[in-house]
Amino acid sequence: MFSFEIISAQGQARAGVFSTPHGNLETPVFAPVGTQATVKTLTPAQLDDLGASLVLANTYHLYLRPGDDLVADMGGLHRFMQWPRPMLTDSGGYQVFSLAQTRKVDDDGVTFKSHIDGSTHRFTPEKSIQIQEHLGADIIMAFDECSDPNDHEYSKTAMERTHRWAERSLNAKERSDQALFGIIQGGVDPGLRAVSAQFIASLPFPGIAIGGLSIGETKQEMHATLDLVNRLLPENKPRYLMGVGTPEDLINGISRGVDIFDCVLPTRLARHNAAFSSEGRLNLMNATFARDQRPIDEACQCYTCQTFTRAYLRHLIVAKELLAGTLLSIHNLHALIQLVKDIRVSIIDNTFKSKVAAWLLNWHGNAERTKIY
């Protein structure tokens, strides 16, 4: 049911096709995040228009609200939110570790309090897989523990737990129409990362995720980790860099062999009135845009840039009109999705290496890396 074919490669960069029950996923791909079974402010029709293929949803949030059993009763996530193409759910691990005010990890799992009502819940690898089977995404994730990358001792403990939980996640899985990806941890320690990459690669996962990055390490550390990990991973499995990133991160990640990305940055920036552009990140609330008749980015083909001026977008922001968030989300998501599509084409026609420097330069002003959940 799942197969991954690399149709072209240039250096470490790969263009592939991952087949799923909801259609072929062309990689590299950037996935918008639909935390609560909706990519914030956008209809599925708008997502489709802007070229989205893979959409991510969050297990932690959907487990709490509306409940994975309700989603299952409504026919699963695809039908519930009416997204007909491939979907991915995370394991809930990262969000439990980062969001929950109080949580207690043990070797069996993690007990935490809901951010909604303070009620107590417990996730184990088996529970995470059960929830993800209820949700029904095409790609699901093993339960893992994400550590502070600069805390070597904790990174080692968390990595070892992640490995045991990876095996338990595999054993817990019952549905055959979902691809379970394993997750590599190990912080920024090359030794730990190598051990983790080799261990996860040795298990029968159809795809492999790189966790624990873009959460406080330097760019150099992220790049070194990707270089190391990607050398150790098998060629024939898709590689997913979780929670990344900025335009520059995508270019750098693809150069280092990554196939799949997701990040809330485009929609989160939109809610903060910010837009990606080749001039750098723009804050559309800025008074200098009050009478600016240009689109956000003159080279952009998205609905927002093809239709509206910066002056109008600024007016919507100043007048607190929600349409601003919708229009900026369309632009920011389109920018990343289209960038990755352009890169894919360049890998196929063997021009990636000659274009990568220009892309990095073009998107440099959007470089601040922020992991926002």
Nearer to its own copies, 11 or 67 (CB): 67
State the distance between the two ends of the chain, measured CA to CA, in whole angstroms: 32
Report whether the peptide linkage leading into residue 295 is cis, meaning its omega lies within 30 degrees of zero: no
> How is residue 33 annotated by DSSP?
B
Question: Which segments of 173-287 does DSSP mark as H helices, in order?
Answer: 190-202, 219-232, 247-255, 265-271
Q: How far is the CB of 373 from its own copies (least distance, A)?
A: 16
Which of 300, 267, 247 has the alpha carbon at shortest distance from 36?
Answer: 267
Nearer to its own copies, 40 or 239 (CB): 40
Q: How far is the CB of 293 from its own copies (least distance, A)?
A: 7
262 is catalytic: yes
Nearer to its own copies, 17 or 318 (CB): 318
Q: Which two tokens stand for residue 151?
A: 């805390």
Q: Out of 68, 189, 262, 297, which one is annotated catalytic?
A: 262
List residues binding its own copies (CB under 8 A): 36-38, 40-46, 61, 65-66, 70, 73-74, 80-82, 290-291, 293, 303, 307-309, 311-312, 314-316, 318-319, 321-323, 325-327
Q: Out of 68, 90, 138, 144, which one is annotated catalytic?
A: 90
Nearer to its own copies, 315 or 369 (CB): 315
H/E stretch holding 352: helix 352-362
Q: How far is the CB of 199 from its own copies (least distance, A)?
A: 37
Strand partners, 232: none
Tell me if 35 sits within 8 A of 90, measured CB to CB. Answer: no
Q: How far is the CB of 334 from its own copies (least distance, A)?
A: 14
Q: Edge to edge, what strands does the sheet with 179-184 contain?
A: 29-31, 260-262, 239-241, 207-210, 179-184, 139-141, 87-89, 55-57
Tell me if 190 sits within 8 A of 216, measured CB to CB. Answer: no
Q: How far is the CB of 143 from its own copies (least distance, A)?
A: 23
d(CA 238, CA 31) in angstroms, rounded, equals 14
Nearer to its own copies, 44 or 51 (CB): 44
The residue whose two tokens read 């190990």 is 186
Nearer to its own copies, 19 or 283 (CB): 283
292 is catalytic: no
Tell me if 20 sits within 8 A of 4, measured CB to CB. Answer: no
Q: How far is the CB of 101 from its own copies (least distance, A)?
A: 19
Distance (Å) of CA 288 to CA 186, 318, 338, 371: 45, 13, 28, 28
Q: How many CB atoms lie within 10 A of CB 341?
A: 17
- Catalytic residues, by residue number, are 90, 262
